[in-house]
Amino acid sequence: MKKPNYKSLAATVIATVAVAACSVDGYRGNGDDNYFSAFHTFRDTNWDYADTLHFRVDTIRDSISHSGRFLVSVRHTHGYGYSNLWLELSTPLTDSTRRADTLNLRLADDYGRWLGSGMGTSMMVTDTLPGRYDLRRGSDITLRHIMRTDTLDAIEQVGVVFIPND
């Protein structure tokens, strides 16, 4: 019986994960110039309640409003102390009003097993917010956690992706 080549298997797994990780951030939907993504990396893996993340939409080519959907991605370590993460995404409706939506992002199942994908101690979960959003160049998107604790430990990265449907 031939001995398995673990180095080759490990290289294949790493390459597969790398390609999968690029697919969300590198999505262009048939050359769509109205796609937007932005991510924030926490240096100390702590997200304070008062730390609202601001993402400025600067990659959408057209100045007109585009309809689409939002995805939210969270990368965390095994040290995260909860099975979910409550988030609030705020987007502009008009120049003076905003739309705020909440998302309960499940990070672990009922038995404490992490959901999502990742390697080592880092896991990434992505979920789609319900409903359609209108977005245009220059918009300011905010994202914050609305958990009952002031500081969330073991959060490495949080991001938003807008995928237009026009």
Q: What pLDDT score was predicted for residue 95?
A: 77
Distance linking the first and last C-alpha atoms of the chain: 55
pLDDT (tens digit per residue) in 123-156: 999 999 999 999 888 899 999 999 999 999 999 9
Which of residues 28 and 76 earns the better pLDDT score? 76
Q: Is the per-residue pLDDT at 28 higher than 80? A: no
> Please, which pLDDT band fits residue 8 given cuts at 50, 70 and 90?
very low
pLDDT (tens digit per residue) in 46-105: 999 999 999 999 877 766 788 999 999 999 999 999 999 999 999 998 878 999 999 999
Q: What pLDDT score was predicted for residue 3?
A: 52
- Measured CA to CA, the distance from residue 105 to residue 123 in angstroms comes to 13
pTM of the model: 0.78
- Measured CA to CA, the distance from residue 146 to residue 157 in angstroms comes to 16
- Measured CA to CA, the distance from residue 159 to residue 25 in angstroms comes to 10
For residue 129, the 8-state DSSP code is: P
- Measured CA to CA, the distance from residue 159 to residue 41 in angstroms comes to 9
- Measured CA to CA, the distance from residue 77 to residue 34 in angstroms comes to 32
Residues 6+ apart with CB under 8 A from 116: 107, 123, 124, 125, 126
Q: What pLDDT score was predicted for residue 14?
A: 44
> Please, which pLDDT band fits residue 29 given cuts at 50, 70 and 90?
very low
